[in-house]
Structure 1
Amino acid sequence: MTKDERFPVAKKIAEKRRGPVLLRGEQVDSSTTDQRLLDSAQNSDWLHTDPWRVMRIQSEFVEGFGTLAELGPAISVFGSARTPVDSPEYEAGVRIGRALSEAGYAVITGGGPGAMESANKGAHEAGGTSVGLGIELPFEQGLNQYVDLGLNFRYFFVRKTMFVKYSQGFIVLPGGFGTLDELFEALTLVQTHKVTRFPVILFGVDYWSGLVDWVKRTVIAEGKASPSDLELIQLTDSVDEALKILDDAARRNGVQNPAHSPE
Protein backbone atom coordinates (compact mmCIF):
# COMPACT_ATOMS: atom_id res chain seq x y z
CA MET A 1 0.00 0.00 0.00
CA THR A 2 1.42 3.36 -1.01
CA LYS A 3 1.64 6.40 1.23
CA ASP A 4 -1.07 8.16 -0.81
CA GLU A 5 -3.36 5.19 -0.28
CA ARG A 6 -2.70 5.15 3.47
CA PHE A 7 -3.08 8.93 3.84
CA PRO A 8 -5.42 10.14 1.10
CA VAL A 9 -5.49 13.87 0.45
CA ALA A 10 -8.72 15.39 1.73
CA LYS A 11 -10.97 16.59 -1.08
CA LYS A 12 -11.52 20.34 -1.01
CA ILE A 13 -15.14 21.01 -0.05
CA ALA A 14 -16.91 24.06 -1.45
CA GLU A 15 -17.90 26.52 1.24
CA LYS A 16 -19.62 29.87 1.51
CA ARG A 17 -20.51 32.34 4.25
CA ARG A 18 -23.96 33.87 4.53
CA GLY A 19 -23.60 36.49 7.24
CA PRO A 20 -22.55 34.57 10.35
CA VAL A 21 -23.57 31.23 8.79
CA LEU A 22 -21.03 28.88 7.21
CA LEU A 23 -22.31 26.64 4.39
CA ARG A 24 -20.37 23.65 3.01
CA GLY A 25 -20.88 20.94 0.44
CA GLU A 26 -24.46 20.50 -0.73
CA GLN A 27 -25.61 23.40 1.44
CA VAL A 28 -23.84 25.90 -0.83
CA ASP A 29 -26.13 27.64 -3.32
CA SER A 30 -25.44 30.10 -6.14
CA SER A 31 -27.72 32.92 -5.00
CA THR A 32 -27.18 35.59 -2.36
CA THR A 33 -29.42 37.29 0.16
CA ASP A 34 -29.07 40.63 -1.66
CA GLN A 35 -30.07 38.98 -4.92
CA ARG A 36 -33.18 37.45 -3.45
CA LEU A 37 -34.16 40.79 -1.89
CA LEU A 38 -33.70 42.83 -5.07
CA ASP A 39 -34.77 40.31 -7.72
CA SER A 40 -38.11 41.38 -9.21
CA ALA A 41 -38.60 38.08 -11.07
CA GLN A 42 -40.35 36.30 -8.26
CA ASN A 43 -43.87 35.26 -7.36
CA SER A 44 -46.23 36.91 -4.88
CA ASP A 45 -44.58 35.18 -1.92
CA TRP A 46 -42.51 38.34 -1.47
CA LEU A 47 -45.64 40.03 -0.11
CA HIS A 48 -45.38 37.73 2.87
CA THR A 49 -41.60 37.30 3.24
CA ASP A 50 -40.24 40.84 2.72
CA PRO A 51 -41.60 42.23 6.01
CA TRP A 52 -39.69 39.49 7.83
CA ARG A 53 -36.52 40.41 5.95
CA VAL A 54 -36.68 43.76 7.72
CA MET A 55 -35.95 41.95 10.98
CA ARG A 56 -32.83 40.35 9.49
CA ILE A 57 -31.70 43.69 8.06
CA GLN A 58 -32.29 45.29 11.46
CA SER A 59 -30.21 42.60 13.14
CA GLU A 60 -27.28 43.31 10.83
CA PHE A 61 -27.40 47.01 11.67
CA VAL A 62 -27.58 46.23 15.40
CA GLU A 63 -24.64 43.81 15.19
CA GLY A 64 -22.54 46.26 13.18
CA PHE A 65 -23.30 49.25 15.38
CA GLY A 66 -22.67 47.26 18.54
CA THR A 67 -19.37 45.85 17.34
CA LEU A 68 -17.90 49.07 15.92
CA ALA A 69 -19.31 51.70 18.28
CA GLU A 70 -16.09 52.02 20.31
CA LEU A 71 -13.67 51.56 17.42
CA GLY A 72 -12.29 55.10 17.60
CA PRO A 73 -10.74 57.03 14.70
CA ALA A 74 -10.64 54.77 11.64
CA ILE A 75 -9.86 54.90 7.93
CA SER A 76 -11.44 52.66 5.31
CA VAL A 77 -9.06 51.28 2.69
CA PHE A 78 -10.57 49.98 -0.56
CA GLY A 79 -8.98 48.15 -3.47
CA SER A 80 -9.11 45.13 -5.72
CA ALA A 81 -9.46 41.59 -4.39
CA ARG A 82 -7.39 40.55 -7.43
CA THR A 83 -4.24 42.45 -6.48
CA PRO A 84 -1.34 39.92 -6.52
CA VAL A 85 0.57 39.42 -3.29
CA ASP A 86 3.90 40.07 -5.03
CA SER A 87 2.79 43.33 -6.70
CA PRO A 88 3.83 46.92 -5.88
CA GLU A 89 0.15 47.69 -5.17
CA TYR A 90 0.03 45.02 -2.46
CA GLU A 91 3.23 46.34 -0.91
CA ALA A 92 1.76 49.86 -0.95
CA GLY A 93 -1.31 48.56 0.87
CA VAL A 94 0.87 47.02 3.57
CA ARG A 95 2.71 50.32 4.02
CA ILE A 96 -0.57 52.21 4.21
CA GLY A 97 -2.05 49.85 6.78
CA ARG A 98 1.10 50.02 8.90
CA ALA A 99 1.34 53.82 8.70
CA LEU A 100 -2.33 54.28 9.60
CA SER A 101 -1.96 52.04 12.65
CA GLU A 102 1.17 53.81 13.79
CA ALA A 103 -0.70 57.11 13.44
CA GLY A 104 -3.45 55.88 15.74
CA TYR A 105 -6.11 54.91 13.22
CA ALA A 106 -7.99 51.63 13.02
CA VAL A 107 -7.93 50.18 9.50
CA ILE A 108 -11.22 49.02 7.95
CA THR A 109 -11.33 46.98 4.73
CA GLY A 110 -13.75 44.66 3.00
CA GLY A 111 -11.86 41.83 4.67
CA GLY A 112 -11.09 39.96 1.46
CA PRO A 113 -7.86 39.09 -0.37
CA GLY A 114 -5.68 41.32 -2.54
CA ALA A 115 -5.51 45.01 -1.68
CA MET A 116 -7.86 44.53 1.28
CA GLU A 117 -5.59 41.87 2.74
CA SER A 118 -2.53 44.06 2.25
CA ALA A 119 -3.95 46.91 4.34
CA ASN A 120 -5.13 44.47 7.04
CA LYS A 121 -1.69 42.89 7.05
CA GLY A 122 0.06 46.22 7.58
CA ALA A 123 -2.29 47.14 10.42
CA HIS A 124 -2.05 43.70 12.05
CA GLU A 125 1.74 43.56 11.92
CA ALA A 126 1.97 47.09 13.37
CA GLY A 127 -0.17 46.04 16.35
CA GLY A 128 -3.11 48.21 15.32
CA THR A 129 -6.80 47.42 15.00
CA SER A 130 -7.39 45.51 11.77
CA VAL A 131 -11.07 45.36 10.81
CA GLY A 132 -12.68 43.35 8.01
CA LEU A 133 -16.27 43.84 6.87
CA GLY A 134 -17.04 40.85 4.67
CA ILE A 135 -20.00 40.25 2.37
CA GLU A 136 -21.87 37.21 1.14
CA LEU A 137 -20.94 36.51 -2.49
CA PRO A 138 -21.89 33.76 -4.98
CA PHE A 139 -18.30 32.51 -4.64
CA GLU A 140 -16.54 32.05 -1.32
CA GLN A 141 -14.11 34.79 -0.39
CA GLY A 142 -13.99 34.81 3.39
CA LEU A 143 -12.08 37.09 5.73
CA ASN A 144 -8.33 37.20 5.31
CA GLN A 145 -5.99 35.95 8.02
CA TYR A 146 -4.92 39.46 9.09
CA VAL A 147 -8.39 40.56 10.23
CA ASP A 148 -8.54 40.85 14.02
CA LEU A 149 -12.11 42.17 14.21
CA GLY A 150 -14.39 40.81 11.55
CA LEU A 151 -18.05 40.97 10.56
CA ASN A 152 -19.79 39.18 7.70
CA PHE A 153 -22.82 40.87 6.17
CA ARG A 154 -25.63 39.60 4.00
CA TYR A 155 -26.62 43.02 2.63
CA PHE A 156 -24.33 45.38 0.74
CA PHE A 157 -26.17 48.51 1.89
CA VAL A 158 -25.72 47.60 5.57
CA ARG A 159 -22.03 46.96 5.03
CA LYS A 160 -21.61 50.27 3.15
CA THR A 161 -23.24 52.11 6.04
CA MET A 162 -20.58 50.70 8.38
CA PHE A 163 -17.76 51.82 6.08
CA VAL A 164 -19.01 55.40 6.06
CA LYS A 165 -20.30 55.71 9.62
CA TYR A 166 -17.09 54.59 11.32
CA SER A 167 -14.48 56.17 9.04
CA GLN A 168 -12.84 59.57 9.06
CA GLY A 169 -11.66 59.14 5.48
CA PHE A 170 -11.18 56.74 2.57
CA ILE A 171 -7.99 55.61 0.87
CA VAL A 172 -8.70 53.95 -2.47
CA LEU A 173 -6.10 51.65 -3.98
CA PRO A 174 -6.37 50.51 -7.61
CA GLY A 175 -9.46 48.38 -8.09
CA GLY A 176 -12.33 47.34 -10.33
CA PHE A 177 -16.10 47.77 -10.35
CA GLY A 178 -16.54 47.11 -6.62
CA THR A 179 -13.88 49.68 -5.76
CA LEU A 180 -15.40 52.21 -8.17
CA ASP A 181 -18.81 51.63 -6.59
CA GLU A 182 -17.43 52.38 -3.13
CA LEU A 183 -15.50 55.39 -4.43
CA PHE A 184 -18.39 57.09 -6.19
CA GLU A 185 -20.86 56.36 -3.43
CA ALA A 186 -18.50 58.03 -0.96
CA LEU A 187 -18.05 61.02 -3.26
CA THR A 188 -21.81 61.35 -3.71
CA LEU A 189 -22.43 61.28 0.04
CA VAL A 190 -19.80 63.97 0.60
CA GLN A 191 -20.99 66.07 -2.36
CA THR A 192 -24.60 66.03 -1.14
CA HIS A 193 -23.56 66.66 2.49
CA LYS A 194 -25.08 63.39 3.66
CA VAL A 195 -21.89 62.85 5.65
CA THR A 196 -19.45 65.29 7.21
CA ARG A 197 -16.91 66.27 4.61
CA PHE A 198 -13.97 63.92 4.83
CA PRO A 199 -11.11 63.15 2.44
CA VAL A 200 -11.27 60.62 -0.36
CA ILE A 201 -7.71 59.76 -1.37
CA LEU A 202 -6.91 57.94 -4.62
CA PHE A 203 -3.61 56.15 -4.09
CA GLY A 204 -1.79 55.42 -7.35
CA VAL A 205 -1.34 58.41 -9.67
CA ASP A 206 -0.76 56.37 -12.84
CA TYR A 207 -3.82 54.20 -12.22
CA TRP A 208 -6.30 56.94 -11.29
CA SER A 209 -5.15 59.89 -13.46
CA GLY A 210 -7.24 58.78 -16.44
CA LEU A 211 -10.40 58.69 -14.34
CA VAL A 212 -9.70 62.11 -12.81
CA ASP A 213 -8.99 63.57 -16.26
CA TRP A 214 -12.27 62.15 -17.59
CA VAL A 215 -14.20 63.70 -14.70
CA LYS A 216 -12.51 67.05 -15.40
CA ARG A 217 -12.67 67.08 -19.21
CA THR A 218 -16.02 65.38 -19.72
CA VAL A 219 -18.23 65.34 -16.63
CA ILE A 220 -17.34 68.83 -15.38
CA ALA A 221 -16.77 70.28 -18.86
CA GLU A 222 -20.29 69.27 -19.89
CA GLY A 223 -21.81 70.68 -16.72
CA LYS A 224 -22.70 67.35 -15.14
CA ALA A 225 -20.70 68.28 -12.03
CA SER A 226 -19.21 71.45 -10.57
CA PRO A 227 -15.49 72.32 -10.75
CA SER A 228 -15.45 72.39 -6.95
CA ASP A 229 -16.51 68.73 -6.88
CA LEU A 230 -13.07 67.79 -8.14
CA GLU A 231 -11.68 69.12 -4.87
CA LEU A 232 -13.32 66.16 -3.12
CA ILE A 233 -10.65 63.90 -4.63
CA GLN A 234 -7.00 63.84 -3.53
CA LEU A 235 -4.48 62.01 -5.73
CA THR A 236 -1.13 60.77 -4.41
CA ASP A 237 1.60 58.13 -4.48
CA SER A 238 2.93 59.10 -1.06
CA VAL A 239 1.91 57.40 2.19
CA ASP A 240 3.17 60.42 4.15
CA GLU A 241 1.09 62.81 2.05
CA ALA A 242 -1.99 60.61 2.49
CA LEU A 243 -1.56 60.73 6.27
CA LYS A 244 -1.11 64.50 6.21
CA ILE A 245 -4.35 64.88 4.22
CA LEU A 246 -6.19 62.73 6.78
CA ASP A 247 -4.75 64.53 9.80
CA ASP A 248 -5.45 67.99 8.32
CA ALA A 249 -9.05 67.00 7.62
CA ALA A 250 -9.46 65.60 11.14
CA ARG A 251 -8.25 68.87 12.65
CA ARG A 252 -10.62 70.90 10.45
CA ASN A 253 -13.51 68.69 11.53
CA GLY A 254 -12.54 68.82 15.21
CA VAL A 255 -11.73 65.10 15.44
CA GLN A 256 -8.97 64.37 17.93
CA ASN A 257 -6.79 61.38 17.15
CA PRO A 258 -5.77 59.64 20.40
CA ALA A 259 -2.26 59.12 19.04
CA HIS A 260 -1.83 62.88 18.86
CA SER A 261 -3.35 63.73 22.21
CA PRO A 262 -1.16 65.53 24.74
CA GLU A 263 0.19 63.37 27.57
Structure 2
Amino acid sequence: MNSKDSRKTYRKGPVVLRGTQIPAQTSDQRLLSPAQSSDWVHDDPWRVMRIQSEFVEGFGALAELGPAISIFGSARTKPDHPDYAIAERAAQLIVERGYAVITGGGPGVMEAANKGAHEAGGTSVGLGIELPFEQGMNQYVDLGVNFRYFFARKTMFVKYASGFVVLPGGFGTFDELFEALTLVQTHKVTEFPIALVGRDYWGGLVDWLKGAVAERGMINPSDVDLFHVVDTPEEAVQIVADRADAMRSGYVFATEGEEPVEA
Protein backbone atom coordinates (compact mmCIF):
# COMPACT_ATOMS: atom_id res chain seq x y z
CA MET A 1 0.00 0.00 0.00
CA ASN A 2 1.48 3.39 -0.92
CA SER A 3 1.54 6.43 1.35
CA LYS A 4 -1.45 7.97 -0.40
CA ASP A 5 -3.60 4.89 0.20
CA SER A 6 -2.61 4.72 3.87
CA ARG A 7 -3.66 8.28 4.72
CA LYS A 8 -6.19 8.54 7.50
CA THR A 9 -9.72 8.92 6.15
CA TYR A 10 -12.58 10.61 8.00
CA ARG A 11 -16.20 10.39 6.87
CA LYS A 12 -18.58 13.18 7.83
CA GLY A 13 -21.95 12.18 6.47
CA PRO A 14 -21.48 11.99 2.70
CA VAL A 15 -18.19 13.95 2.86
CA VAL A 16 -14.74 12.29 2.91
CA LEU A 17 -11.95 14.25 4.64
CA ARG A 18 -8.18 13.66 4.90
CA GLY A 19 -5.12 15.44 6.27
CA THR A 20 -5.71 18.92 7.66
CA GLN A 21 -9.39 18.74 6.70
CA ILE A 22 -10.12 16.23 9.49
CA PRO A 23 -12.02 18.08 12.26
CA ALA A 24 -10.98 18.03 15.90
CA GLN A 25 -14.53 17.13 17.01
CA THR A 26 -17.32 14.98 15.63
CA SER A 27 -20.73 16.43 14.84
CA ASP A 28 -22.14 14.75 17.96
CA GLN A 29 -19.40 16.25 20.13
CA ARG A 30 -20.12 19.74 18.84
CA LEU A 31 -23.86 19.28 19.28
CA LEU A 32 -23.57 18.03 22.86
CA SER A 33 -20.80 20.32 24.12
CA PRO A 34 -21.82 23.01 26.66
CA ALA A 35 -22.35 26.36 24.99
CA GLN A 36 -19.47 28.76 25.72
CA SER A 37 -21.18 31.82 24.28
CA SER A 38 -24.44 32.95 22.72
CA ASP A 39 -23.30 31.64 19.33
CA TRP A 40 -25.50 28.59 19.80
CA VAL A 41 -28.55 30.83 19.27
CA HIS A 42 -27.40 31.28 15.68
CA ASP A 43 -25.74 27.90 15.08
CA ASP A 44 -28.21 25.41 16.53
CA PRO A 45 -31.28 26.34 14.44
CA TRP A 46 -29.22 25.69 11.30
CA ARG A 47 -27.91 22.45 12.77
CA VAL A 48 -31.52 21.30 13.06
CA MET A 49 -31.73 21.43 9.26
CA ARG A 50 -28.74 19.10 8.98
CA ILE A 51 -30.30 16.73 11.50
CA GLN A 52 -33.54 16.83 9.55
CA SER A 53 -31.67 15.97 6.37
CA GLU A 54 -30.21 12.87 8.01
CA PHE A 55 -33.67 11.61 8.86
CA VAL A 56 -34.92 12.39 5.35
CA GLU A 57 -31.96 10.61 3.74
CA GLY A 58 -32.31 7.61 6.04
CA PHE A 59 -36.05 7.29 5.54
CA GLY A 60 -35.64 7.68 1.79
CA ALA A 61 -32.90 5.05 1.54
CA LEU A 62 -34.69 2.45 3.67
CA ALA A 63 -38.36 3.08 2.89
CA GLU A 64 -38.57 0.23 0.38
CA LEU A 65 -36.22 -2.14 2.21
CA GLY A 66 -38.94 -4.53 3.34
CA PRO A 67 -38.82 -6.65 6.51
CA ALA A 68 -35.43 -6.70 8.19
CA ILE A 69 -33.66 -7.91 11.33
CA SER A 70 -30.75 -6.09 12.95
CA ILE A 71 -27.59 -7.82 14.16
CA PHE A 72 -25.46 -6.07 16.78
CA GLY A 73 -22.05 -6.96 18.19
CA SER A 74 -18.47 -5.85 18.67
CA ALA A 75 -16.49 -4.08 15.98
CA ARG A 76 -13.38 -5.63 17.57
CA THR A 77 -14.29 -9.24 16.80
CA LYS A 78 -11.66 -10.82 14.54
CA PRO A 79 -12.51 -13.04 11.55
CA ASP A 80 -11.00 -16.08 13.28
CA HIS A 81 -13.14 -15.65 16.42
CA PRO A 82 -16.16 -17.96 16.89
CA ASP A 83 -18.48 -14.95 17.22
CA TYR A 84 -17.61 -13.94 13.65
CA ALA A 85 -18.80 -17.30 12.32
CA ILE A 86 -21.94 -17.12 14.50
CA ALA A 87 -22.85 -13.68 13.13
CA GLU A 88 -22.23 -14.83 9.56
CA ARG A 89 -24.42 -17.90 10.05
CA ALA A 90 -27.18 -15.91 11.76
CA ALA A 91 -27.32 -13.52 8.82
CA GLN A 92 -27.56 -16.40 6.34
CA LEU A 93 -30.47 -17.87 8.29
CA ILE A 94 -32.19 -14.49 8.49
CA VAL A 95 -31.99 -14.13 4.71
CA GLU A 96 -33.40 -17.63 4.30
CA ARG A 97 -36.39 -16.54 6.37
CA GLY A 98 -37.04 -13.66 3.95
CA TYR A 99 -35.54 -10.77 5.89
CA ALA A 100 -32.85 -8.23 5.09
CA VAL A 101 -29.97 -7.83 7.55
CA ILE A 102 -29.10 -4.46 9.11
CA THR A 103 -25.82 -3.75 10.92
CA GLY A 104 -23.74 -0.73 11.82
CA GLY A 105 -21.76 -1.33 8.64
CA GLY A 106 -18.36 -1.53 10.33
CA PRO A 107 -15.85 -4.32 11.01
CA GLY A 108 -16.07 -7.29 13.36
CA VAL A 109 -19.51 -8.77 13.99
CA MET A 110 -21.04 -6.19 11.67
CA GLU A 111 -18.81 -7.26 8.80
CA ALA A 112 -19.55 -10.93 9.48
CA ALA A 113 -23.31 -10.33 9.41
CA ASN A 114 -23.13 -8.25 6.23
CA LYS A 115 -20.97 -10.94 4.65
CA GLY A 116 -23.44 -13.68 5.57
CA ALA A 117 -26.37 -11.72 4.17
CA HIS A 118 -24.56 -10.70 0.99
CA GLU A 119 -23.29 -14.18 0.20
CA ALA A 120 -26.72 -15.69 0.90
CA GLY A 121 -28.23 -13.44 -1.76
CA GLY A 122 -30.10 -11.18 0.66
CA THR A 123 -30.04 -7.44 1.19
CA SER A 124 -27.09 -6.41 3.35
CA VAL A 125 -27.58 -2.99 4.98
CA GLY A 126 -24.99 -0.90 6.83
CA LEU A 127 -25.79 2.19 8.89
CA GLY A 128 -22.46 3.92 9.43
CA ILE A 129 -21.57 6.65 11.92
CA GLU A 130 -19.04 9.47 12.07
CA LEU A 131 -16.35 8.55 14.62
CA PRO A 132 -13.01 10.10 15.65
CA PHE A 133 -11.31 6.93 14.38
CA GLU A 134 -12.05 5.62 10.90
CA GLN A 135 -13.95 2.37 10.59
CA GLY A 136 -15.50 2.76 7.17
CA MET A 137 -18.26 0.76 5.55
CA ASN A 138 -17.29 -2.88 5.15
CA GLN A 139 -17.13 -4.36 1.66
CA TYR A 140 -20.18 -6.61 2.13
CA VAL A 141 -22.70 -3.78 2.52
CA ASP A 142 -25.10 -3.55 -0.43
CA LEU A 143 -27.07 -0.57 0.88
CA GLY A 144 -25.16 1.84 3.09
CA VAL A 145 -26.14 5.09 4.79
CA ASN A 146 -23.64 7.21 6.74
CA PHE A 147 -24.83 9.34 9.67
CA ARG A 148 -23.32 12.22 11.60
CA TYR A 149 -25.62 11.82 14.61
CA PHE A 150 -26.08 8.71 16.71
CA PHE A 151 -29.72 9.43 17.50
CA ALA A 152 -30.68 9.65 13.82
CA ARG A 153 -28.91 6.36 13.16
CA LYS A 154 -30.57 4.68 16.16
CA THR A 155 -33.99 5.67 14.86
CA MET A 156 -33.28 3.78 11.63
CA PHE A 157 -32.27 0.63 13.51
CA VAL A 158 -35.52 0.58 15.45
CA LYS A 159 -37.87 1.79 12.71
CA TYR A 160 -36.78 -0.67 10.04
CA ALA A 161 -36.03 -3.76 12.15
CA SER A 162 -38.54 -6.45 13.03
CA GLY A 163 -36.24 -7.89 15.69
CA PHE A 164 -32.70 -7.81 17.11
CA VAL A 165 -30.02 -10.49 17.31
CA VAL A 166 -27.32 -9.33 19.72
CA LEU A 167 -23.87 -10.90 19.92
CA PRO A 168 -21.17 -10.10 22.49
CA GLY A 169 -20.06 -6.49 22.30
CA GLY A 170 -19.04 -3.44 24.30
CA PHE A 171 -20.60 -0.11 25.19
CA GLY A 172 -22.04 0.48 21.72
CA THR A 173 -23.76 -2.90 21.73
CA PHE A 174 -25.04 -2.33 25.28
CA ASP A 175 -26.37 1.05 24.23
CA GLU A 176 -28.37 -0.38 21.34
CA LEU A 177 -29.62 -3.28 23.46
CA PHE A 178 -30.83 -1.22 26.40
CA GLU A 179 -32.39 1.43 24.22
CA ALA A 180 -34.39 -1.28 22.46
CA LEU A 181 -35.40 -2.83 25.78
CA THR A 182 -36.46 0.57 27.12
CA LEU A 183 -38.61 1.28 24.06
CA VAL A 184 -40.28 -2.12 24.37
CA GLN A 185 -40.72 -1.86 28.14
CA THR A 186 -42.33 1.58 27.89
CA HIS A 187 -44.45 0.55 24.86
CA LYS A 188 -42.92 3.28 22.71
CA VAL A 189 -42.62 0.66 19.99
CA THR A 190 -44.62 -2.44 19.20
CA GLU A 191 -43.06 -5.29 21.11
CA PHE A 192 -40.48 -7.05 18.99
CA PRO A 193 -38.18 -9.97 19.76
CA ILE A 194 -34.62 -9.64 21.05
CA ALA A 195 -32.22 -12.60 21.25
CA LEU A 196 -28.83 -12.44 22.98
CA VAL A 197 -26.36 -15.01 21.68
CA GLY A 198 -23.88 -16.49 24.18
CA ARG A 199 -24.99 -17.53 27.67
CA ASP A 200 -21.38 -17.44 28.85
CA TYR A 201 -21.16 -13.76 27.91
CA TRP A 202 -24.62 -12.50 28.84
CA GLY A 203 -25.23 -14.72 31.90
CA GLY A 204 -23.69 -12.29 34.39
CA LEU A 205 -25.83 -9.44 33.08
CA VAL A 206 -28.98 -11.54 33.35
CA ASP A 207 -28.13 -12.58 36.90
CA TRP A 208 -27.57 -8.93 37.85
CA LEU A 209 -30.90 -7.86 36.31
CA LYS A 210 -32.80 -10.68 38.04
CA GLY A 211 -30.97 -10.08 41.31
CA ALA A 212 -29.86 -6.58 42.31
CA VAL A 213 -31.95 -4.66 39.80
CA ALA A 214 -35.27 -6.52 40.16
CA GLU A 215 -34.91 -7.06 43.90
CA ARG A 216 -34.55 -3.33 44.45
CA GLY A 217 -37.67 -2.74 42.39
CA MET A 218 -35.82 -0.92 39.60
CA ILE A 219 -37.51 -3.16 37.03
CA ASN A 220 -40.36 -5.64 37.18
CA PRO A 221 -39.19 -9.27 37.37
CA SER A 222 -41.12 -9.89 34.15
CA ASP A 223 -39.02 -7.30 32.31
CA VAL A 224 -36.24 -9.87 32.05
CA ASP A 225 -38.60 -11.82 29.76
CA LEU A 226 -38.37 -9.04 27.16
CA PHE A 227 -35.32 -10.81 25.71
CA HIS A 228 -34.07 -14.38 25.27
CA VAL A 229 -30.57 -15.72 25.85
CA VAL A 230 -29.44 -18.55 23.57
CA ASP A 231 -26.22 -20.21 22.47
CA THR A 232 -26.61 -20.80 18.75
CA PRO A 233 -27.50 -18.68 15.71
CA GLU A 234 -30.21 -21.20 14.85
CA GLU A 235 -31.96 -20.63 18.19
CA ALA A 236 -31.63 -16.85 17.90
CA VAL A 237 -33.03 -16.63 14.39
CA GLN A 238 -35.88 -19.01 15.14
CA ILE A 239 -37.00 -16.92 18.12
CA VAL A 240 -36.68 -13.58 16.37
CA ALA A 241 -37.99 -14.60 12.95
CA ASP A 242 -40.92 -16.64 14.33
CA ARG A 243 -42.14 -13.71 16.39
CA ALA A 244 -41.50 -11.23 13.61
CA ASP A 245 -43.50 -13.45 11.25
CA ALA A 246 -46.35 -13.58 13.75
CA MET A 247 -46.41 -9.80 14.18
CA ARG A 248 -46.37 -9.26 10.42
CA SER A 249 -49.35 -11.61 10.17
CA GLY A 250 -51.27 -9.62 12.77
CA TYR A 251 -50.59 -11.96 15.68
CA VAL A 252 -48.76 -11.41 18.95
CA PHE A 253 -47.51 -13.64 21.76
CA ALA A 254 -49.17 -12.76 25.03
CA THR A 255 -46.66 -14.51 27.29
CA GLU A 256 -43.78 -16.92 26.94
CA GLY A 257 -44.88 -20.31 25.65
CA GLU A 258 -48.38 -19.26 24.59
CA GLU A 259 -49.74 -19.71 21.10
CA PRO A 260 -50.01 -16.55 19.00
CA VAL A 261 -53.31 -14.71 19.29
CA GLU A 262 -54.82 -12.23 16.87
CA ALA A 263 -53.85 -8.64 17.64
| TM-score of the pair, normalised by structure 1 | 0.92
For residues 90 and 247 of structure 1, what CA distance do their matches in structure 2 show?
20
* Pairing partner for 2:188 from 194, 207, 220: 194
For residues 89 and 149 of structure 2, what CA distance do their matches in structure 1 show?
30
* Pairing partner for 2:218 from 218, 224, 229: 224
* Pairing partner for 2:107 from 104, 113, 120: 113
Name 1:90's counterpart in structure 2.
Answer: 84
Name 1:166's counterpart in structure 2.
Answer: 160
Q: Deviations over 1:28-54 (max 9, x none)?
A: 123100110110043221110100011
Q: Shift of residue 221 of structure 1?
A: 1.3
For residues 34 and 100 of structure 1, what CA distance do their matches in structure 2 show?
32
SS at match of 1:253: helix
Query: Structure 1 residue 140 and structure 2 residue 134: aligned?
Result: yes
SS at match of 1:188: helix
Q: Deviations over 1:73-128 (max 9, x none)?
A: 10011000000111001111110111111211100000000011010010011110
39-48 or 246-255: bigger deviation: 246-255
Query: Structure 1 residue 10 and structure 2 residue 3: aligned?
Result: yes
Name 1:24's counterpart in structure 2.
Answer: 18
For residues 50 and 142 of structure 1, what CA distance do their matches in structure 2 show?
28
Name 2:261's counterpart in structure 1.
Answer: none
SS at match of 2:248: coil
Q: Deviations over 1:182-238 (max 9, x none)?
A: 000000000000000001110111111111111001101111100110110100112
Gaps of 5+ in 2: 251-263
For residues 204 and 109 of structure 2, what CA distance do their matches in structure 1 show?
20
Gaps of 5+ in 1: 1-7, 257-263
Instruction: Tell me the amino acid that sits aligned with residue 111 of structure 1.
Output: G
* Pairing partner for 1:104 from 98, 105, 108: 98
Q: Shift of residue 254 of structure 1?
A: 3.3
Q: Shift of residue 250 of structure 1?
A: 2.1
For residues 112 and 251 of structure 1, what CA distance do their matches in structure 2 show?
28
* Pairing partner for 1:184 from 171, 178, 181: 178
For residues 60 and 181 of structure 1, what CA distance do their matches in structure 2 show?
20
SS at match of 2:135: coil
Query: Structure 1 residue 56 and structure 2 residue 28: aligned?
Result: no
Given that residues 193 and 244 in structure 2 are in contact (C-alpha distance below 8 angstroms), is that contact kept between their aligned partners in structure 1? no
Instruction: Tell me the amino acid that sits aligned with residue 194 of structure 1.
Output: K
For residues 183 and 91 of structure 2, what CA distance do their matches in structure 1 show?
24
Name 1:77's counterpart in structure 2.
Answer: 71
For residues 13 and 48 of structure 1, what CA distance do their matches in structure 2 show?
35
Structure 1 or 2, whichever has the larger Rg, is 1
Runs (4+) off by over 6 Å: none
Name 1:3's counterpart in structure 2.
Answer: none
For residues 94 and 143 of structure 1, what CA distance do their matches in structure 2 show?
17
For residues 62 and 44 of structure 2, what CA distance do their matches in structure 1 show?
27
| TM-score of the pair, normalised by structure 2 | 0.92
